[in-house]
Structure 1
Amino acid sequence: MILLVRADREFLCAPGDEVHTDLGVVEVPTDVAPGDVVESHLGEAFSVRALRGPDLFQHLERTGAPMMPKDIGLVVGHTGVAAGDRVLDAGTGTGVLAAYLGRAGAEVLTFEQDPDFADVARENMELAEVAERVTVRAGDVTDHLEELSGFDLLTLDTADAATVVEQAPSLLVSGGFVAVYSPFVESAREVELAARDADLEDIETIETIQRRMDFDDRGSRPTTKGVGHTGYLTFARKL
């Protein structure tokens, strides 16, 4: 898949597609490549761009609020997840996190309780070109914990995350990480306490805040627009 880009407009498509836009119809060449410029039948030019991780956040079909790129960056940075790692993920939702991890080269098994949401996530993995590395299973991960083991990373975005964290020692390899996203501080507290009870190490809970900067003739300051807070991330590690 590629993107056709013109100023603030983006159109997701594939080589050979016919794309209808407000600036005319674009016949996308079958041999189109990133960096090319194509024109609509009205002579309007569009740049061709490769689909990358941040673009997935904008263009994957959504079944709920996906994890923000800044939160995914913290997960990657804190855990060092890399190509060849095995990841157990629960709370797939749209699948943005799973797609990012798959594009990093990790092998991901992700559980989504809603079968319809799981179907959408599978389609999103195809779009992200990671379907060979990301397996989406419909169901509750807690029903399968006894049969799962040997993971380098456990990522959770579920209401019962604390219950899964209690089982982390049997799910992870030595040195493996846990990363849990919590929308509310009460659930973050439950997760951290569960990590302590499970004798995990390097336990840390952080609030994720990001503010854009405004620069103008009057001076420089953080923007007053938008919401900088998204949630809480708890990290822990098995010895």
Structure 2
Amino acid sequence: MRALLLVHDDNREYVRHPGDELQTDLGVLDVPEDVEPGDVLETHLGEPFTARELRGPDLFEHFERTGAPMMPRDIGLVMGHTGASGGDRVLDAGTGTGVLSAYLGRAGAEVTTYETDPEFAEVARGNMELAGVEDAVDVRAGDVTEALDDLTAGEGFDVVTLDTADAPSVVEHAGDLLVDGGFVSVYSPFVEAVRETTEAAREAGLTDIRTFETIQRRMDVGDRGTRPSTAGVGHTGYLTFARQR
């Protein structure tokens, strides 16, 4: 059964499945089996919660984390620059929390994702169930570089997304992994890795090789005026894209 977001007027949010119980200082709420998005449910103390469908940003906030997940702005760049969409076959490595895989699965892609830590992989499987994409996302525990022979022997992927330290060694095989016109995307937290990735893409015969630093500034709007926020760090990392032609 799909999970829903339960939202209170004080901006508190909880994720629950139909049939679950929610216990807070606002009271106890038994979530009905037939609950629908838009329904207003009350705790035994009369406090109202509105049921909502989970959307991408909600997954980012409520997934169980095994490390720093990919930021929504980076996910947007990956999907925007690769055109990942319904019907695509996507190979992903460095699953982590699984936010990128979940976004891709909810967009209709068929995702095979590799996570080297078996415990992290198990958490990611649970997150895929929460996102309702467990049938679209195959979370595999293992090193993608050890599965390249089998992966390159298949029908090919429309998109390959990598968030691993050994990404260049996978990019070297991108020509055999990608279908004609397919894209590879590599997230690098450090700029030094960008050159390795770019050189590997060139050696693999890929084209349209481009790297972007991802920076985003939040704006504070107040009575005195509007200015960039002084909180947080706008930089996350570097995204390199290349295409098989």
The question of a shared fold, defined as TM-score above 0.5 by the shorter chain, is answered with: yes
Aligned to 2:223: 217
- Report the TM-score when normalising by structure 2: 0.95
Task: Identify the residue that residue 238 of structure 1 maps to in structure 2.
Answer: 244
* SS of residue matched to 2:232: coil
Following superposition, the deviation at residue 219 of structure 1 comes to: 2.2
Offset from partner CA, 1:14-68 (integer Å, 9 cap, x none): 1121110121101112111111111111111111111111111111111111101
May I ask how many residue pairs the two structures share in their alignment?
239
| Superposed displacement of residue 214, structure 1 | 1.4
Provide the rounded CA distance (Å) in 1 between the counterparts of 2:65 and 2:168. 25
**What displacement does 1:235 show?**
0.4
Which residue number in structure 2 is paired with residue 5 of structure 1? Answer: 7
Structure 2 residue identity aligned to 1:4: L
Question: Residue 161 of structure 2 aligns with which residue?
Answer: 155
How far residue 217 of structure 1 moved from its aligned partner, in angstroms, is 2.9
Per-residue CA deviation, residues 89-130 of structure 1 (Å, 9 max, x unaligned), is 000111111111011110001111111111111111111111
Deviation of 1:160 after TM superposition, in Å, equals: 0.3
Q: Using the alignment, how far apart are the partners of 2:226 and 2:21 within structure 1?
A: 44
- Residues 185-196 of structure 1 correspond to what in structure 2 (within 5 A)? 185-196=191-202
Counterpart for residue 171 of structure 1: 177
The separation in 1 between residues aligned to 2:212 and 2:227, in whole angstroms, is 24
The answer to whether 1:17 aligns with 2:35 is no
Name the SS of the counterpart of 1:148 in structure 2. Answer: helix
Match among 56, 76, 82 for residue 79 of structure 1: 82
What percent of counterpart residues are identical? 70
In 2, Cα distance between equivalents of 1:226 and 1:22: 31
Q: Which range moved further: 214-223 or 147-156?
A: 214-223
What TM-score results when the alignment is normalised by the length of structure 1? Answer: 0.98
1:105 to 91, 102, 108: 108
* Match status 1:93 vs 2:91: no
Structure 2 residue identity aligned to 1:166: E
Q: 1:216 Cα deviation (Å)?
A: 2.1
Q: 3-state DSSP class of the match of 1:88?
A: strand
- Aligned-partner SS, 1:38: strand
Structure 1 stretches of 4+ moved >3 Å: none
Say if 2:53 is the partner of 1:47: no
Q: Residues of 2 paired with 1:104 and 1:72: CA distance?
A: 12
